[in-house]
Amino acid sequence: MDLDKDELHHIIQRAIALKNSPMLHNDSLQHKTLAMVFEKSSTRTRVAFEVAMTQLGGNSIFLASADTQLGRGEPVEDTARVLSRMVDFITIRTFEHSKLELFAKHSLVPVINALSDDYHPCQLLADMQTYFENRGDIQGKSVTWVGDGHNMCQSYMNAAQQFDFQLTIACPEGFDPEPALLAARSAHVRIVRDPHEAVRDADLVTTDVWASMGQEEERKKRLQIFADYQVDEEMMALAKPDALFFHCLPAHRGEEVSAAVLDAPNSVVWEEAENRLHTKKALLEFLCQK
Ligand code: CP
Ligand code: NVA
């Protein structure tokens, strides 16, 4: 939400250009350093950031917070002040979104959300690129979110406003997105409890794990509550015939998505994962030019 619509479209188009013309792998980030503070696990986000910096001629430093003084109680504000005097951008994956905002407030350089409990915006850049590449502009399209109203869902809500598509959310009661965010996005977002009803005529269907990082203890309970929310072939058959399926990954086949849907031809999850790299490159270049 810190980037306007034109800036977001510019990043998507640049990501597509970088993907299609590997010769654009220039040295635009030469001598630049990205610090990566991670308090949660990651495969895609970490590798995408590190490879992006390498391909653009810069450097990255991975900081598992437990190995830093942050993990021993040095205040977030002080860590931000120190790191931002040495590096050109910082990315953070953490639990409380407020920690990320506090970090950004005290940083002298751009701070990128690599996932918090509330949002996962970098994933949405990759998702938007994937839609644009496969089907063209997402403006006016019908997107259905099936599952937990957590970080990925809330980033879809923000994307619905920024990219002007209609988002239908099918989540069990008690797992809704933040009411204030729902109210703020009401022109683009609605909740439909029945997932089969929600996917009807969708251009894109997407979901995420039922128990996110930090919710491991609730996993057993969540498996029961979300049991009717699996995206399977029967559910996908209600969407438009050419509807795409997205998943930010990692996926749990047999839980939020059936193996048949995840591995079907209209599931573009591997492309979506690859696009994490291209959108990271475009985002880092953009922040560098600002
Ligand atoms: N989709 C995503 O963010 O994956 P990682 O947790 O592997 O980074
Ligand atoms: N909602 C998931 C996304 C993982 C990329 C989580 O927060 O664990």
Q: Do 43 and 68 fall within a single domain? A: yes
Check residue 26 and give its pLDDT.
77
The answer on pLDDT for 171 being more than 80 is yes
Q: Tens digits of per-residue pLDDT, 218-274? A: 999 999 999 999 999 999 999 999 999 999 999 999 999 999 999 999 999 999 999
Closest CA to 22 of 278, 236, 250: 278
Domain that holds residue 85: 5-120+273-289
Q: Do 95 and 152 fall within a single domain? A: no
Check residue 270 and give its pLDDT.
98
Among the bound ligands, the one closest to the CA of 153 = 2
Q: Report the nearest atom of ligand 1 relative to the CA of 115.
A: 3
Q: Catalytic amino acids? A: 93, 120, 123, 208, 248, 276
pLDDT band at 20 (very low <50, low <70, confident <90, very high): very high
Check residue 66 and give its pLDDT.
84
Q: Do 230 and 207 fall within a single domain? A: yes
The answer on pLDDT for 65 being more than 90 is no
Check residue 136 and give its pLDDT.
98
Distance 133 CA to ligand 2 centre (A): 24
To test ligand 2's pocket by mutation, which of 120, 153, 249, 256 has the most ligand atoms within 8 angstroms of CB?
A: 120
Check residue 150 and give its pLDDT.
98
Q: Do 179 and 93 fall within a single domain? A: no
**Atom 1 of ligand 2, nearest CA residue:** 212
* Average pLDDT estimate for 91-105: 98
Q: What is the dihedral of CA 191, 112, 131, 151, to 10 degrees?
A: -20
**Atom 3 of ligand 2, nearest CA residue:** 212
Q: Do 254 and 280 fall within a single domain? A: no
Q: What percent of the chain has pLDDT over 70?
A: 100
* Average pLDDT estimate for 77-83: 98
Map tokens 């880092």 to a residue. 284
Map tokens 């996993």 to a residue. 219
Q: Is the CB of 42 under 6 A from ligand 1?
A: yes
Q: Do 92 and 188 fall within a single domain? A: no
In eight-state DSSP terms, residue 32 is -
Q: Do 133 and 226 fall within a single domain? A: yes
Q: Tens digits of per-residue pLDDT, 201-219? A: 999 999 999 999 999 999 9
* Average pLDDT estimate for 44-68: 95
Q: Report the nearest atom of ligand 2 relative to the CA of 45.
A: 5
Q: Do 112 and 136 fall within a single domain? A: no
Q: Is the CB of 151 under 6 A from ligand 2?
A: yes
Q: Tens digits of per-residue pLDDT, 106-131? A: 999 999 999 999 999 999 999 999 99
Residue 216 near residue 222 (C-beta atoms within 8 A): no
Among the bound ligands, the one closest to the CA of 127 = 1
Q: Do 64 and 169 fall within a single domain? A: no
Give the domain CATH number at 102.
3.40.50.1370
The total number of structural domains in the chain stands at: 2
Q: Do 108 and 132 fall within a single domain? A: no
The overall pTM is greater than 0.75: yes
Q: For residue 140, which amino acid is it?
A: G
Distance 42 CA to ligand 2 centre (A): 9
Q: Is the CB of 212 under 6 A from ligand 2?
A: yes
- Please list, residue by residue across 264-277, b when 16 or more beta carbons sit within 10 angstroms of its beta carbon and e when fewer do: eebbbbebbbbbbb
Region of 116 please: left (phi>0), alpha (psi -120 to 50) or beta: beta
Among the bound ligands, the one closest to the CA of 49 = 1
Q: What is the 3-state secondary structure (H, E, C) of 44-61?
A: HHHHHHHHHHHHCCCEEE
**Atom 1 of ligand 1, nearest CA residue:** 248
Q: Do 136 and 257 fall within a single domain? A: yes
**Atom 6 of ligand 1, nearest CA residue:** 42
The answer on pLDDT for 97 being more than 90 is yes
Closest CA to 254 of 234, 272, 238, 231: 231
Check residue 224 and give its pLDDT.
98
Q: Do 222 and 161 fall within a single domain? A: yes
Distance 115 CA to ligand 1 centre (A): 8
